[in-house]
Amino acid sequence: MKNIKTNLEENTLVITINRPDKLNALNETVLTELESIIIDNRDKPNIKCVIITGEGDKAFVAGADIKEMSSFSSMDAIKYSNKGINLFNIIESYPKPIIAAVNGYALGGGLELALACHIRYISKNAILGLPEVSLGLIPGFGGTQRLRNIVGLGNAIEIITSANHIKSEDAKKLGLANKICDNVLEESIELCKKISNNSSTAIRNAIQSIVSGMNVNYYDSFSIENNLFSQLYETEDSKEGMLAFLERRKPKFKD
């Protein structure tokens, strides 16, 4: 991998976008490498969680590579947008929790990447925003939709049309961040350790229920939950989890 580093911290795969001289900006190579890593580790049983972060302390991902984008035709833009949308859809529907450890700037495509992750932990110096309209563009990796889902219609339109940068405290108030951290990577890893103690099978179903429920009628979403909930009664994990509770001991999940 040219632009990506990986490290295994117990049961957590840490993926680091490694273009610090470009503030970890996304280009086609980064998107391709990131997709490859995400897919390759999808079904590995020893990996319970994934963290995505950026190299250095200045930026998570400061946006897309404008130099690369400046030469695009409309057809090039369609292909580039589809590439990002497809990758971020994979991240959003991933069966293992993916945490964005936002260490600095998360702008444009960088914020779109963070929005696709299930959880966002951010540093105190984090700056978030979707400034594409200042370039005569709009977000093209699903950001208009995911931002609306997370912060609501009015906030999403204000953030996108103003191209404002959002500081960490305001990001937390808006719901863009789960937590502001003193050490974003360490605290993300600690969260992953807690998650890893629970049933991976149940976690997979929980993520599927939450994400799938966003894309159907509200009342239809309960049928999805009901189906995924009842399926778990056929698993060894559910039997072990309930037995351990009754026996007042920690469960030993086999996943």
Contacts of 232 (CB under 8 A, 6+ apart): 201, 202, 205, 238
Of 9, 112, 169, 247, which one is the catalytic site residue?
A: 112
Of the candidates 131, 120, 125, 116, the one whose C-alpha atom is nearest the C-alpha of residue 168 is: 125
Whether the Cβ atoms of residue 53 and residue 103 lie closer than 8 Å to each other? yes
Largest CA distance in the chain: 64
Q: In whole angstroms, what is the distance from residue 117 CA to residue 101 CA?
A: 10
Does 55 qualify as catalytic in the annotation?
no
Q: Which helix (H) or strand (E) segment is 144 a member of? A: helix 143-151
Annotation marks residue 112 as catalytic = yes
CA distance 28 to 86: 13
Out of 9, 132, 169, 225, which one is annotated catalytic?
132
Q: Structure tokens of 74?
A: 């409309």
The span from the CA of 186 to the CA of 176, in Å, is 20
d(CA 250, CA 1): 39
DSSP 8-state assignment for residue 26: B
Burial letters for 18-33: b for 16+ Cβ neighbours within 10 Å, e otherwise?
bbeebbbbbbbebbbb
C-alpha 14/C-alpha 6 separation (Å) is 6
101: tokens are 């450890």
The residues annotated as belonging to the active site are 112, 132
